[in-house]
Amino acid sequence: MKGKVEEFIGKISKIEEGTKKAALGANDSAVIGGVVKANSVGANTDLGSIKNLVEGIKEIVDLVITEGDGQADKTKPADADKKNIGKLFGGKTEDAGGAEDKHVAAASASIGAVSGADILKAIAGANASANKDGKVSEAKDAAALALAKGTNTDNEDKLTTAESKKDAVIAAGIALRGMAKDGKFIVKDDGDKKTEAESAKGAAANAVSKVLSTLTIAIRNTVDEGLKGINEVLGGIKQGEDSQAKVSK
């Protein structure tokens, strides 16, 4: 009995630690998925925020997520459109260098094609110590994408590595950036009622929602399973006591 209880308490404590760490990286604002143009100074995702999110989520995922594929890749859009999803993370630093509506649509397709568990596994598999302001074209995981920044050089805003073009990694990069402090997405036009701007906000909200809902359900299930195990042990002890009482009579 003692072992079951200690195991349960230990698991809950680790989940709590992971949650606290992830919370340190979370955006203080109620807004998920802010947008800016490529030549804006406002695109500057916080390094420590991404590190805390990745490390905290990994601690929880390792305990409660048993399914999912962090390299899941299910969509097959035009190659150019998938590569240009990278503009959302670091469009070329010119006035119209950000993602267009078709690029955001490709990103939304990636998010829709994978499960919350896939996205969480991709986050857990990312390098928490990824470099800040790296090139999109060199990114190989979700953290690197979330921290990427645009340059003034052609093609450095494209997803070129095999890893970065995986749907789960794209969705995880969007979720991380959406949750992180100062995390904004780069669009061609961030004006009111511009389709690419509104679509980018919606894509980020969808990715973050998948992450949080999957985590919530997985944590609840883990707690329920732990309590069930303890109750089964208690039931066995009670049955043993009842049997012993009958023998004593």
Q: Are 168 and 73 a contacting pair, CB within 8 Å?
A: yes
Q: Per-residue pLDDT for 146 more than 80? A: yes
Burial of 30 (0-12, 13-18, 19+ CB in 10 A): exposed
* Dist. CA 146–CA 140, nearest whole Å: 11
pLDDT band at residue 206, thresholds of 50, 70 and 90? very high
Average pLDDT over residues 146-174: 97
Nearest by Cα to 103 from 126, 124, 86: 86
- pTM given for the model: 0.89
| pLDDT tens track for 27-73 | 776 678 789 999 876 678 999 999 999 999 999 999 999 999 999 99
Domain ranges of the chain: 1-242
| pLDDT tens track for 92-136 | 999 889 999 999 999 999 999 999 999 999 999 999 999 999 999
Nearest by Cα to 116 from 221, 210, 218: 210
pLDDT band at residue 226, thresholds of 50, 70 and 90? confident
